[in-house]
Amino acid sequence: MKKIIWIFLAAAIPLGTFARVRIEKPRSRQATSFAIVIDDLTYDRCAEAVRLYRDALEKDGLSTYILSDRWETPDQVRSELRKLYGKQPNLEGIVLIGDVPVVLVRNAQHMTAAFKMDEERFPKDQSSVTSDRFYDDLHLKFDFIERDSVNPRHFYYKLSDDSPQTLDPTYYSGRILYPPKKGGDPYAAVSRFLRKAVAEKERAKQIDHIVTFAGHAYNSDCLTVWMDEKLAVNENFPLTGKNHLSAKHLNFRMDEFMKFRLFDELQRDEADVMLFNEHGQIGSQLISGDIPGDSPRNRMELIRSELDYYVGRETDKKDGDPEGAKQHFIREYGLLPSFFDRKSEVPEPAEPAVQTVPALSSVRRDNILINLDDLEKIETMPRFVMFNACYNGSFQQDGSVASYYIFNDGRTVAAQGNTVNVLQDRWTYELVGLLSHGVRVGQYNRLIATLEGHIVGDPTFRFKPVEPNTLSTDLTVNRNKKTVWEHYLQSEYADIRSVALRMLADQKNPVSSARLLSVMKTCPFVTTRMECLKLLSRYRNADFIEAIRIGLKDPYELTRRNAANYAWMTGDLSLLPDVAESYVNDPESQRVIYTLEKYLELAPVDRVQGALCGVIDRCLYPDREALWKKVTEEVDRVAEAKARKLALILDKSKDAQNRKMAIRTVRNYPYHEYADEFLAFVADEGNDPKLRIIMAEALGWFTHSRRREDILTGCRKLLEGNKNLDPELRGELTQTVLRLQ
């Protein structure tokens, strides 16, 4: 009750009423520094463990500050961190422990991997992005909106229209926040975790055992994606692969009861790193989907499930005929009426690996997910766990997957997860190999920052490097010294070369695009070539287009997939022959084909049909006539859909909500050929003011478009030529200009 009373008092008392922030200075002088930010109640209850953690950090090379207070607002915390960074420019990271205010960010969905929820239609708590970029990226600007009425420790902020529009964290961060759903004493749990973090620092182990997992209905459904994963892992973790247990690559197809196999792996003491690629929710991981059709019983269950779906659709219809549907299937497939009688189900006998199994459908449900109840029963051993999944890193919730992984009696001390949904086709393993070279998990996460991606647990944790080096310190102290990164570029390790290129590209006088293209053409490492492609996307020039062309033919599937992504983002028509060639002749790369379809949808229809048919005419497939027919029909379908969408957007007589939804799709489908129409839409005062704002925002997604300069010029003219422009529209246009320039 006392805590509840405090929360409501805090909401009413103005900032500055309480005592000044208590700051404990470091006990040693090191090359870089770190800050523990903790609420005073947690500090009082966990003081011994906090100081043990502080001492371990100093022993590991970090001059460590402790900042404690009854933190009233996020701005108070950010102000203290800004002052500390002003005095300590080599501050490399922070950790937020206990009751430090949570920020939910709006107006910044372009900084996420995939999140695009309508902020007007959906509640604030669902359509905002929980993000500690508020605390660790000091160059961003935010406007306060309000405090959450249900959870007073959650605060809503809007990314300012005139803020920088890209992420560049000043230092790294992590969260240690006990999930209330677990119950028990949260202060005792935080103390146990900090002691565990100290113990793992003292152990200082190299990465020589990893496990990867590819879950159902993710990009791993494409076996080419999963097969090529080994290429990256072998480069990222050079000490693994010495035997069959040191690098395991698991796939949901391998076992009907795969989640129990995963429990075995998670409880192996020698497992250092676990990398999950799957769908997820706040409190669950999706492991498997439909049961395999590898037995008569399973095949019958799959058929029953399929037919039940169609019968159910009839049941849901206003004038549906479920009985008629059943009779149709009885006649069509020679079934007995009892097939649709659930009382006729007979429990399947137990299998040796799973005792006392009830009905098969129940086993299936239990096998699909790893949930919080499951995680209560196991001790997770990998020191670092990555969740390439939606919502698994929602540390602000009462119970989240990532929080349960660190708050158990196992050895997991750091997890990387996302507070909202995440893109399937992002570069999952970008720079993760730095962990093999003694780089802290927080430093790694800072280099691949998204608005939603966080370290839950100890961000300072690091493994013993493959070979002694100073890379971890250099990432902070020598961030701007070109000579240091030129030296690292000679490394025999892929991700050290990759981070060297990244740091050279981050300089005030960055490495030239010609040099990056040269490295991409000659480098033997698949991950470094992919880094070159990503860095070249900054240059938006002919070298970037050439990198896309080369990338579409790269042996590494992920590079081909990302080249396909950049192809549709640019809409560059000189790439059309290369796209058509890959689209027709690389069908086994399902995710690449899926992405190339987007390029073909965005390009002019007549050009697309000619390019595809030209490739098909030259190919040796015996069924090329059928392929030609399929392609032309698909092109016609896309053309009709595109024309309907443009007509809907431009037709002022149509329903505003339908027009709004059509405009919002432009964020995912930037129709380059319609840039002039979209600019005219924003300028047209006869259009609904809200729709003009939404279109102005959609134009901000044309960041790599071949029409980017035209859009940028058009938006600037609108801003400069109309002094009476609606303030909200002016703000959106300002933001779009900053994103495109």
For residues 354, 360, 366 and 369, what is the CA-based torsion angle, rounded to 10 degrees? 110
- Minimum mean pLDDT range among 2-16, 385-399, 409-423, 706-720: 2-16
| pLDDT over 80 (residue 490) | yes
Residue 506 near residue 498, CB atoms below 8 Å = no
DSSP for residue 292: P
DSSP for residue 354: B
Which residue intervals of 220-351 are DSSP H helices? 223-236, 258-266, 296-316, 322-333
Residue 474 near residue 484, CB atoms below 8 Å = yes
CB atoms closer than 10 angstroms to residue 517: 21
If DSSP codes are grouped into helix, strand and coil, which group holds residue 302?
helix
Residue 103, amino acid? V
Residue 512 vs residues 15, 327, 416, 501, 554: alpha-carbon distances, Å: 48, 70, 32, 11, 22
Residues linked to residue 93 through DSSP beta bridges, in sequence order = 34, 172
Mean pLDDT throughout 547-566? 97
If DSSP codes are grouped into helix, strand and coil, which group holds residue 202?
helix
| Domains within the chain, CATH numbers bracketed | 2-182 (3.40.50.10390), 205-289+369-457 (3.40.50), 303-360 (no CATH), 512-640 (1.25.10.10), 651-740 (no CATH)
CB atoms closer than 10 angstroms to residue 356: 5
- Minimum mean pLDDT range among 83-97, 286-300, 522-536: 286-300
| pLDDT over 80 (residue 518) | yes
If DSSP codes are grouped into helix, strand and coil, which group holds residue 32?
strand
What is the pLDDT at residue 14? 39
Residue 45, amino acid? R
- Which of 360, 361, 380 is closest to 370 using CA atoms? 380
- The DSSP secondary structure of 104-141, one letter per residue, reads EEES-GGGSSS----TTTS-HHHHSEE-THHHH-TT--
Residues linked to residue 211 through DSSP beta bridges, in sequence order = 248, 274
What is the pLDDT at residue 728? 96
If DSSP codes are grouped into helix, strand and coil, which group holds residue 724?
coil
* pLDDT single digits (tens) 136-190: 999 999 999 999 999 999 999 999 999 999 999 999 999 999 999 999 999 999 9
CA 627 to chain centre: 36
Residue 218 vs residues 204, 221, 349, 590: alpha-carbon distances, Å: 34, 6, 31, 12
What distance in Å separates the CA atoms of residue 385 and residue 432, rounded to the nearest whole number?
Answer: 11
| pLDDT over 80 (residue 6) | no
Mean pLDDT throughout 297-320? 82
Query: What proportion of the chain, given as a percentage, has pLDDT over 70?
Result: 93
What distance in Å separates the CA atoms of residue 196 and residue 361, rounded to the nearest whole number?
Answer: 40
Residues linked to residue 654 through DSSP beta bridges, in sequence order = none
If DSSP codes are grouped into helix, strand and coil, which group holds residue 204?
coil
**Reduced 3-state DSSP string for 411-451:** CCCEEEEECCCCCCCCCCCCCHHHHHHCCCHHHHHHHCCCC
Binned at pLDDT 50, 70 and 90, residue 595 comes out as very high
Residue 504 near residue 489, CB atoms below 8 Å = yes
CB atoms closer than 10 angstroms to residue 360: 18
Which residue intervals of 619-688 are DSSP H helices? 624-650, 656-664, 675-683
* pLDDT single digits (tens) 684-718: 999 999 999 999 999 999 999 999 999 999 999 99
What distance in Å separates the CA atoms of residue 726 and residue 690, rounded to the nearest whole number?
Answer: 10
Residue with tokens 């494409």: 222
- Which of 413, 436, 492, 385 is closest to 206 using CA atoms? 436
Which residues have a Cβ under 8 Å from the Cβ of 13 and sit 6 or more positions away? Answer: 72
Classify burial at 260, counting beta carbons within 10 Å of its beta carbon; exposed 0-12, middle 13-18, buried 19 or more.
middle
Mean pLDDT throughout 460-465? 98
Q: Half-sphere exposure of residue 521, counting CA atoms within 13 Å on the CB side?
A: 11
* pLDDT single digits (tens) 248-269: 999 998 988 899 999 999 999 9
What is the pLDDT at residue 465? 98
Q: Half-sphere exposure of residue 96, counting CA atoms within 13 Å on the CB side?
A: 28
What is the pLDDT at residue 13? 36
